[in-house]
Amino acid sequence: MAMTREDNDLLTRVENGAPMGEMIRQHYWIPAIPSSKLDAGGRPFRVRLLGVDYVAFRAPDGAVGVLDESCPHRRASLALARNEPGGLRCIYHGWKLDVKGEVIEAPNHAGDQQQFCKHVRVNRYQAVDRGGIVWVWLGKGDKAPKFPELPFVDLPESQRSVTSVEVPTNWVQGVEASMDSSHVGVLHESTTQITAGGGNQRLLMTKALAPKLEFEDQPYGYRYAAIRNMPGEQIYARVNNFVMPWYGVICPPDAHGPTTVFFSTPVDDVTHRAWFVHFNPHRALGMTVMSASPDVWSFPPLPPGTPADNWGQNRELMRRGHQTGFPQHLGTEDFAMFLSQGPIYDRSLEQLCSADGAVLRVRSLLLKAVREHQAGKVPYLADNDALDYAKVRSVGGVLPVGTDWRSLTEAA
């Protein structure tokens, strides 16, 4: 049954107190900016999350902070502030805020400054620098949610690269794509061939053969196996994980090869940030298109055109055999699809098929969590005691017919 418009709104909207935005704010750490963008003592960056503007910065001693963008005095932007030892100093009247958001100096106030500073109301956010990303928790209270220890977080820097780009559509369109395995062999047929130099045969097979999907609930979300019959009494199984509220942890195309965690974080209702964490748990990555990108906060490239020229699709290239006419990057192909769906697409109009089970499950987990939050409960999938991010393993391989795909996970 198609989704109602009401549920579509509940699922997608995050701004101005929308329940989904409030649920995420309270129960999840939000990736804010790649660590490499923040130099110690360098410029603060404006970061928009859930429809609100913040600034992220790294103090001269290396500590990271995320604060409301507006100065608590008279609302000048702290993106313009000086980054001094001990905190950001607003350039308007010189108030200074430490990495926790506390006002520690108000030089234009006559009288007892310490007393005065204590009474300035501020929002305090916890920020951490892990896995090449500065994350922030924007919830109320002191007890932060459990940090998502995804498989890339504790790897050495040489084994991962982090890039992201702002995409002008709603975030759920991005999250859905990360769990939508039936688009990979179609939309990404050419890019997969190009990056694998002639083609990763198994990945390319995913186009020809409709998989059977088997799901398993997990305390962090779910995992599923996409199982395809192969010649010679064999099956090819790929196990992917969805980790609430937006992480797609993808099975590597080759055992011991690099793989990706995709996530799409809500900037506001009609904008998201698409993150690509590329990593190899076994060895250094070396140079990749990701690590060689000129700006890790603006990569992969968006489609080069506008709706008027079909987002810059290159039809000449298609005549020469390219699948999509978006040769820039695999991500560019996805972004072209999101843009063509519209800013927030109306899920009441879609017609789903058997391949859409994983996408449906993403939606139902998000909707369940937001309804639990609305009912005043801690969403089951955000319950700290139940969460075990260390269990998230995405693996794949060829097995004899009749073997349980769970044995792959065990072997890994």
Applying CB under 5 A, which part among 93-101, 102-110, 282-290, 332-340 lies near Fe ion?
332-340
* Of 4-12, 87-95, 152-160, 319-327: span binding ligand FES (CB under 6 A): 87-95
Residues 93-112 touching ligand FES, rule: CB under 6 A, are 93-95
Three-class secondary structure of residue 109 per DSSP: coil
Which does residue 277 touch among ligand FES, Fe ion, none (CB within 5 to 8 A, set by kind)?
Answer: none
Handedness of CA 385, 28, 276, 44 (dihedral sign): negative
Beta bridge partners of 249: 241, 261
Q: 76 vs 289, which CB is nearer to ligand FES?
A: 76
Rg (CA), the chain: 23
Question: Could you tell me which stretch among 71-79, 251-259, 309-317, 334-342 binds ligand FES (CB under 6 A)?
Answer: 71-79
Q: How far apart are CA 205 and CA 211, in angstroms?
A: 10
Q: Choosing among Fe ion, ligand FES, none, which partner's interface includes residue 95 (Cβ < 5 to 8 Å by kind)?
A: ligand FES
Residue from 2, 5, 74, 283 binding ligand FES (CB under 6 A): 74
Number of residues that bind ligand FES (CB under 6 A): 9
Residue of the chain from 68, 176, 268, 334 that contacts Fe ion (CB under 5 A): 334
The SS3 assignment for 170 reads: coil
Are the C-beta atoms of 167 and 271 separated by less than 8 Å? yes
The Cα–Cα gap between 172 and 349 comes to 16
With CB cut-offs between 5 and 8 Å by kind, which of Fe ion, ligand FES, none does residue 120 bind? none
- Minimum Å gap between C-beta 187 and ligand FES is 48
Q: Does residue 73 touch ligand FES according to CB under 6 A?
A: yes
Q: Determine if 71 is a binding residue for ligand FES (CB under 6 A).
A: yes
Closest CA to 119 of 65, 69, 72: 72
Residue 76, interface with ligand FES (CB under 6 A)? yes
Q: Which is nearer to ligand FES, 95 or 311 (CB)?
A: 95
Q: SS3 for 76?
A: coil
Among 3, 90, 249, 387, binds ligand FES (CB under 6 A): 90
Element (H, E) at 265: strand 259-268
Query: What is the enclosing helix (H) or strand (E) of 366?
Result: helix 357-374
Pick the closer one to ligand FES by CB: 46 or 93. Answer: 93
Q: How far apart are CA 85 and CA 98, in angstroms?
A: 9
Q: Which two tokens mark 45?
A: 């960056």
Give the C-alpha separation, 273 to 171, whole Å. 7
Nearer to ligand FES, 124 or 130 (CB): 124
32-67 per-residue burial string, b: 16 or more CB within 10 A, e: under 16: bbbbebbeeeeebbebbbbbbbbbbbbbeeebbbbb
Contacting ligand FES within 262-281 (CB under 6 A): none
- Going residue by residue from 113 to 142, which x/- string records binding to Fe ion, judged by CB under 5 A? ------------------------------
Q: Minimum Å distance from CB 78 to ligand FES?
A: 8
Instruction: Identify what 207 binds: Fe ion, ligand FES, none; CB under 5 to 8 Å per kind.
Output: none
- DSSP run (H or E) holding 165: strand 160-167
Instruction: Return the structure tokens found at 165.
Output: 């780009």
Positions touching ligand FES (CB under 6 A) are 71, 73-74, 76, 90, 92-95
Positions touching Fe ion (CB under 5 A) are 334
